[in-house]
Amino acid sequence: MEFIKSIWKNKKLIIQLGKNDFRNKFASTSLGSLWGFLSQFIFMITYVIVFQYILKTGNTGNDPYVVWFLPGMSMWLFLQSAILNSSSSIKNYSYLVKKVVFPVDIIPVMSIVSNSFISFFLFLVSIVVCLIFSYIPNLLMLLYILFAAICLVVAITRFTAALTTLVPDFEQALGIIMQLCFWFTPIVWNLNMVDNNPILQSILQCMPFTYLVTGFRQVFIEGNIVTQGYGLYTIVFWAITIGIFCWGNYIFNKNKKDFADVL
């Protein structure tokens, strides 16, 4: 496939531009990129304090709340930041699209690389905290979930990057959509809370974000959404991911020749 060939051919360029993009975000501050790591870390810890000690909400069974919460939140922060930033990446790098012969396909992927630095730091924080509580990660499942998350983000941003470029209002709509997905994904609330409504529970479990958040959480705690229901949710996840990618790839390839004209 043309897209995959382009990514492989320009892999060094993607990594280098991703590093530069990450550094440039904090270039005007004295602490530099440290702010990116610090802000997200404080954000996660604040949620733990508020929901565990102030609101005292959520039932995590025999597992400590911090072990249950941090993996799910770190996965969500990766998905959210990668999707939102990559979707506007073509607009942000319009000078590359308009003035230089440049492989436009790699721009959203470059933005995903840029966002991954903070996200993988948060993943590492989650792993360390879980290890402190004697929760040993399942390495095979960890690698699988991270791979699945990257595939989903690439698939979604293949479509949203093109649509945001062609229809500027979609960027605002996407922010609202991601907010809704945050609350409908079991990140700060437990999926067991809808046990009395099996239909709703099944629908929520079929959501790709739920699959990834739950899967990364189960890297450390009991459960395996990958094989649950004879692998039903895994089949649904990959069917949705492949479907979104094929659709997004068609939209992107069909319209990328017009990007320079609308920017």
Prediction pTM value: 0.89
How crowded is the C-beta side of 87, counted as CA atoms within 13 Å? 26
Say what the pLDDT of residue 27 is. 63
pLDDT digits (tens, 9 = 90+) for 36-47: 777 788 888 888
pLDDT digits (tens, 9 = 90+) for 118-159: 889 899 999 999 999 999 999 999 999 999 999 999 999 999
How many domains would you assign to the chain?
Answer: 1
- 3-state SS class at 190: coil
pLDDT, averaged across the chain: 86
pLDDT digits (tens, 9 = 90+) for 159-213: 999 999 888 889 899 999 999 999 999 998 888 888 888 888 888 888 999 999 9
Range of the domain at 128: 2-262
